[in-house]
Structure 1
């Protein structure tokens, strides 16, 4: 076999796994139908979210549920087919979001998020990618005093519990940081630990080059079959077949179809999202990544322009795009910040791979030797790719991982 290990999927998670395995001396092939970082990892908001210790729970208060059911919001939209297709997983998501269950999930999830900055830092240095990185945090901006004060209280509690750094900004302090915001922005939480990235796809590509410098090989092809081959595995693609002792499924929103062929019915579902880049009007400037917290979209000052990233859309992964959510977000954003013209002819669409308990699946497949999972990272694949790579490489090499990995095992769903 030319490779010890094949990593299937060259997004941030797959590249993170491949890099850490190559660092440990394995002969690794990284396989994707496209170049590294050209799918979901390209289209995100570009934040390494060290503060994201509390994952996105299913709303349980009646006011939010009624608003979501109206299907007119910016933060969440759905199609009936999407809800029906993910119905069982969504029901489990609701159950895991109950206060008692969610209270158990948060510290487990936080243990993983705590590794995000240090593991990215290692790969940034190896990839010589520092020019892409900003280290001045990001902001949640609010429009009403009630929501602002509530978030101030939550931020204090999270910071005290998990050792996070943040500032609470009044309207005047926010205006000093972002003078071109409209006056309807009355304050913000400035999270200071996270790093932001001016070109997410370029960062994944830089990490892939660092992987190659460690002796790894980037392979390209559309997967057609995954089969056992004696004690190892054979992956057949439209460009040829590849064999290895171990394979890692890091296929993001495309993982479920291959899991099914291997006999695993894991409750995965997708949340789709959109982005568009904009110019700026009137020589305006945007200095920080900004979440319009009560509306549900994010503005990111990137190389390609101001990227507007939408919230979640519950729809089948490959269903035709529906741009109403992006258009609603754009309307709201133009009232908050002087966006100029669109810079692309068509919005980008992607899908986030999610699990009902909001935690990724990282570790060995329960019924197949040499099959490993690194999937289901939802909104935080970009944040958690290097950490996942470090942890999974430790497990595959028989080392003791940096954190307890049982909460992320596939067996919790089987």
Structure 2
């Protein structure tokens, strides 16, 4: 059976579902295609659940010798690497390091600012339309510090971002205990970022957005993005329901986007930061009120619907290499000194992959050499945050509307 549509969106994570919804809102007939039978089962499922409206500074490659030496030893909870994968990710790390200079960081922050600051509002609109207000909590999140040095550095950074309207409370021990009574240990202090939203089930949120898309007439089909090919002035893909053709196609495949763009001849410096999580029961009557980053030890705890989610930092490895969840083991021991974690809920940690460009900005916009081919991927640590807002920007560009933010910093051409 053959189907026709206006737009094919490849990938049903938060980025793809959001793009499909925004295109649908502008009158486009959209077919969403994923290799899984349901939306939100890959990268979008496993994250800290934060809509990071306050994160106006990019995630940079550290440049201080202490961090670099600690990471080189490969024993930390926040960074782990596969030595065997170094030929693959090493050149990307060099580009990441170069893009993390102070001058580049200022340019990146300026480019991302309109998207970051609009991100929560875009989610709120979709959450209201999808009818799932219980999936958004306005708690913000807390960043804990063990050392005066790291606290002082972050407080100085807070002062620098207040000009963008960012609000936060600096907490001493008593204030920390008042907001999180079940924490153990002593701290130099903490920052409670007040504005970010918290999603206690990110996978369920993506599924709710996909259900909204279907209720409004959108079609969700299972298919393999590698079957995409250009034909007769448009694009075709093979799905379980037959061949689907469209004038436009949007690649929102996150860390798997290379499966489409490489065969088409595009050289894009897409890297992958893998990450892990595992859920735990709280011990006794202990309650965690906020997502909580133990900044100096490199892990995060989040009070998800399924349990307390322990998430790790970044693992540098080949995307498809077997899981090596040593960071979860390291972080679990550290976390039990902070909060009374009980038993693990899953037998094994979950692993996902974050799609990252060296400048920590996504690629959004039209492919330069193929008519009707569009990109929307590379959202790094901010996929959940930026999915709806980049979907809006992409839909503006595809439908000829005036973009609400400058799209030039996200163009593929920035890589030459």
Name the TM tier (shorter chain): over 0.9
Please name the residue that 2:233 is paired with.
Answer: 231
Please name the residue that 2:43 is paired with.
Answer: 40
Please name the residue that 1:114 is paired with.
Answer: 117
Q: CA deviation at 1:237?
A: 4.0
1:277-316 superposed matches below 5 A: 277-316=279-318
Please name the residue that 1:95 is paired with.
Answer: 98
1:11-50 superposed matches below 5 A: 11-34=13-36, 35-50=38-53
> Distance in 1 between the 2:187 and 2:222 partners?
46
> Distance in 1 between the 2:216 and 2:371 partners?
26
Q: CA deviation at 1:64?
A: 1.1
Please name the residue that 1:320 is paired with.
Answer: 322
Contact 1:276 1:307 in 2 (8 A): yes
> Distance in 1 between the 2:241 and 2:381 partners?
32
Counterparts in 2 of 1:159 and 1:294: CA distance versus 1, 3 Å? same
Please name the residue that 1:388 is paired with.
Answer: 390
Q: Write the deviation string for residues 145-193 of structure 1: whole angstroms up to 9, x where unpaired.
A: 2221221121121122x11111111110010010110122342100111
Please name the residue that 2:207 is paired with.
Answer: 205
Counterparts in 2 of 1:186 and 1:178: CA distance versus 1, 3 Å? farther
> Distance in 1 between the 2:42 and 2:112 partners?
25
Q: Write the deviation string for residues 62-112 of structure 1: whole angstroms up to 9, x where unpaired.
A: 111111111111111111233320222221111111112222211112222
> Distance in 2 between the 1:149 and 1:365 partners?
44
> Which ranges of 4 or more aligned residues in structure 1 deviate by more than 4 Å?
none
Q: Write the deviation string for residues 97-150 of structure 1: whole angstroms up to 9, x where unpaired.
A: 111222221111222211201111111111111011100211101112222122
Contact 2:355 2:377 in 1 (8 A): yes
Please provide the CA RMSD for this pair: 1.1
1:219 aligns with 2:221: yes
Q: Write the deviation string for residues 225-244 of structure 1: whole angstroms up to 9, x where unpaired.
A: 21111111011246532111
Q: Alignment partner for residue 141 of structure 2, among 133, 138, 141? A: 138
> Distance in 2 between the 1:242 and 1:80 partners?
42
TM-score scaled by length of structure 1: 0.98
TM-score scaled by length of structure 2: 0.97
Question: Which shifted more, 138-147 or 326-335?
Answer: 138-147
Q: How many residues align?
A: 413
> Distance in 2 between the 1:28 and 1:251 partners?
16
Question: Which shifted more, 51-60 or 11-20?
Answer: 51-60
> Distance in 2 between the 1:113 and 1:4 partners?
29
**Structure 1 unaligned runs (5+)?**
none
Q: Alignment partner for residue 128 of structure 1, among 125, 131, 150? A: 131
Question: Which shifted more, 369-378 or 59-68?
Answer: 59-68
Please name the residue that 1:86 is paired with.
Answer: 89
**Secondary structure class of the residue paired with 1:180:** coil
